[in-house]
Amino acid sequence: MKMWAGRFSRSAGLDPGFERWQRSLPFDRRLLGEELAASRAYAKALKGAGVLSAEELERILEGLGQIEKRAAREPAWLEDEQAEDIHHVVELRLVELVGEAGEKLHTGRSRNEQIATDLRLFTRQSLERVRARVAELIEAFLARAVELEGTAMPAYTHLQRAEPVLGAHWLLAYAEMFFRDAERLGDCRRRVDVLPLGSGAVAGAGYPLDREALARELGFERISANSLEATSDRDFELEFLQVLSFIALHLSRWGEEMAIFATSEFGFVRLPERFATGSSAMPQKKNPDALELLRGKAGRVVGATLAVTTLLKGLPLAYNKDLQEAQEPLFDAVETVEGSLRIATGFLRAVEFDSERMQAAARSGFLNATAAAGYLAGRGVAFRRAHAAVGQAVVHCLETGKELASLSLEELRRFSPEFQPDFYDSIGLEAVLARHDLPGGTAPARVEQALAEARKRLAALRETLSR
């Protein structure tokens, strides 16, 4: 029997196609844990408000406990054609188990606030799991950065060789992105941590429930301030999806760059066999499928975010059934991002860096041209002129197949009279790296400092995880 059958004539029944189409039980049954927790808390609040006797409360809690155990043992027990959603099936089973006391549990309560509460509980828990996974990924970046503290590599702009940086500096760039994502998750959590229960269907429950006690019972920081809003709000979910999109985007950027660096043209990284696949047709292939999927799955997460954004646009207050469509994108995005983070971390721990190739690449291709212009500027040449002089020297090198360091002083002086013998030392790889000696720069001492800072920030992040 439907929860709302009273108003409907007994003879007609629902169109079977419509009935199946509008049900959410096939996907919201994963909220069973949240539903039971919220129902326990709600039963206690009803007892507090004098609606349930101590004995009825006990029967209800006993029944909810049985539902939990039996559903764990026998998941099919919850597969009920009759039930619309998880809220309905839990009530049906509860009434079967404890009779009339179970029929009282819905007093003053609405599925509108139940789903809002379940989703906040689900989001909070998922958010904390994702935060822990992000911390693990950051740890892997820091661990690998230590290995590349003494390895230079080219940094690219426009995917063209730009200036040399330390390999550690490169890896720490990704750590920054994920530190920000962890921070975003923390911000988001403050707005997730709000209890809607007690809002009733739309106007607030018609019973004097102690909402603060309900919030404490369910571990929420605050209670919602407005019943209309609380029952129809999914901003907290959308915000979480937006953060998940950021994470997916960052993983995708990293995956893309790693796939480029794994080509034989670059050869900076060797794909770990445990995270690569072969080709059924081409015997020589080792493919970066893990990295490609990190890139591809980002589309899915952004799609989920867009689905929920579009769904919310134009919804009048308060609850509308459209909101049921906000569930599956959330479940899918959480699963996708958790999986991606797990794979990315495993991959990063296992990947091999070819430091020799990285370092060799950093020694050629005019990565020291900016430093060469800096050298002239240091000798009093206006930077714009210094830039032009080195630019001409580069053209000369390209024509003659040389690097700046292999030009003679005589050749160099054709472009500027200010070149002196100390020029050669100033454009050596070590000297070029050392020039970038300021916070955020790639001079070795700065990178070491940045790594130490990052370790402290990771420790601080870890501190907040256990809570």
Q: Which residues are catalytic, by number?
A: 158, 279
For residue 408, count other CB atoms closer than 10 A to its CB. 10
Dist. CA 352–CA 272, nearest whole Å: 7
Give me the residues that bind ligand ARG (CB under 6 A), please.
24, 28, 85, 111-112, 115, 319, 321, 323-324
Whether 415 and 393 have beta carbons less than 8 Å apart is answered as yes
| Smallest separation, CB 28 to ligand ARG (Å) | 6
Of the candidates 214, 21, 143, the one whose C-alpha atom is nearest the C-alpha of residue 451 is 143
Structure tokens at 127: 């958010």
Nearer to ligand ARG, 23 or 349 (CB): 23
Nearer to ligand ARG, 28 or 56 (CB): 28
Structure tokens at 245: 């999109």
| Smallest separation, CB 84 to ligand ARG (Å) | 6
| Smallest separation, CB 68 to ligand ARG (Å) | 20
| Smallest separation, CB 200 to ligand ARG (Å) | 11
Of the candidates 127, 117, 299, 146, the one whose C-alpha atom is nearest the C-alpha of residue 224 is 117
Nearer to ligand ARG, 13 or 99 (CB): 13
Q: Report the sign of the C-alpha dihedral through residues 441, 444, 446, 449, in that order.
A: positive
Nearer to ligand ARG, 4 or 383 (CB): 4
| Contacts for 250 with CB less than 8 Å, ≥ 6 apart | 174, 177, 178, 181
DSSP state at residue 402: -
Helix (H) or strand (E) holding 162: strand 160-166
Nearer to ligand ARG, 13 or 296 (CB): 13
| Smallest separation, CB 307 to ligand ARG (Å) | 15
Nearer to ligand ARG, 73 or 321 (CB): 321
| Smallest separation, CB 245 to ligand ARG (Å) | 23
Structure tokens at 243: 């953060």
Please give the torsion angle defined by the CA atoms of residues 148, 170, 357 and 290, in that order, rounded to the nearest 10 degrees: 100
Dist. CA 21–CA 434, nearest whole Å: 65
Dist. CA 51–CA 124, nearest whole Å: 30
Dist. CA 66–CA 72, nearest whole Å: 10
Residue type, 234: R
Whether 192 and 114 have beta carbons less than 8 Å apart is answered as no
| Contacts for 447 with CB less than 8 Å, ≥ 6 apart | 149, 166, 168, 169, 172
For 196-228, the DSSP string reads: -TT-TTTT--SS---HHHHHHHHT-SEE-S-HH
Nearer to ligand ARG, 74 or 322 (CB): 322
| Contacts for 42 with CB less than 8 Å, ≥ 6 apart | 105, 109, 197, 214
| Smallest separation, CB 339 to ligand ARG (Å) | 25
Nearer to ligand ARG, 61 or 201 (CB): 201
| Smallest separation, CB 113 to ligand ARG (Å) | 9
Whether 167 and 355 have beta carbons less than 8 Å apart is answered as yes
Please give the torsion angle defined by the CA atoms of residues 185, 146, 251 and 269, in that order, rounded to the nearest 10 degrees: -170
